[in-house]
Structure formats: C-alpha cells, structure tokens
C-alpha cells in the first residue's frame, strides 16, 4: 500500500521569507502523480501544485515550487516570498493507477508579519 509521510506537524515563517515543507512517500509503482494541497481555515482544499513522476523537471507555480527526488521518494514544497495568506494546512498527496488520492497528515504553516 502507498503511504505518504509529512514529518513536520507545524512550521513558522516570517513574511517575505522562504520555507520548505517536507514529504516522503512509499510506493513500488513507477508511474504516479504527486500533489500539494492547501487547506485554509475555510476548510476547502485548494490544489497548489502537481508533479508527474515521469517528468524530471520540477514543477513550479509562481511562488510555489517542488523538489522532486524520485529515487529518494521525496517531494518537498518550497514557498518563496511567503505571504500572510499562505497560512494554512498543507497536505502532500499521491495518486497512482487513476484511483484515489492518498494524503499525508499535513503540516500547519503559520506566516507571521
């Protein structure tokens, strides 16, 4: 079974600084997809960024980028120029075989002024 591990329950960062959230996963599959979702206090899960395992190039979306290390089964999220609106829970998730997303336990990020 696939598992996703987020080892940082909470992180803090000051506005305008950079923060990296860690995620590791376990799978025997070779083709899969990885995601980072953001959950603000409104509870709605918002897709932040997506990575295809067969692509070596790391995905980027504006201030958000990933460091995807397939051999190490690591998928970290870097947030540059952090903003107060980035305060949220962040979940790493894994998808294979076009089935269901498997989520990690989340990292609570607090951005302070």
Partner 1 sequence: GAGVSQSPSNKVTEKGKDVELRCDPISGHTALYWYRQSLGQGLEFLIYFQGNSAPDKSGLPSDRFSAERTGGSVSTLTIQRTQQEDSAVYLCASSLGGTALSYGYTFGSGTRLTVV
For partner 1, the binding residues (CB under 8 A) are: 4, 6, 33, 35, 37, 42-47, 50, 52, 91, 93, 95, 98-106
Least spacing, CB of residue 86 vs partner 1, in Å:
18
Closest to partner 1 by CB, 21 vs 93, is 93
Burial of 108 (0-12, 13-18, 19+ CB in 10 A): middle
Q: Which pair of tokens denotes residue 53?
A: 């395992």
Residue 33 CB, shortest distance to partner 1, in Å, is 5
What is d(CA 67, CA 107) in angstroms, rounded to the nearest whole number?
17
Query: Whose Cβ is closer to partner 1: residue 85's or residue 113's?
Result: 85
């Amino acid at each position: 079974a696939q598992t996703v591990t987020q080892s940082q329950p909470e992180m803090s960062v000051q506005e305008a600084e950079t923060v990296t959230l860690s995620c590791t996963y376990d799978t025997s599959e070779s083709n899969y997809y990885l995601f980072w979702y953001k959950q603000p206090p409104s509870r709605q899960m918002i897709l932040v960024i997506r990575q295809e395992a067969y692509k070596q190039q790391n995905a980027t979306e504006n201030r958000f980028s990933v460091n995807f290390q397939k051999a190490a089964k690591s998928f970290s999220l870097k947030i540059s120029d952090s903003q107060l609106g980035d305060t949220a829970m962040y979940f790493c998730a894994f998808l294979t075989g076009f089935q269901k997303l498997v989520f990690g336990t989340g990292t609570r990020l607090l951005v302070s002024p």
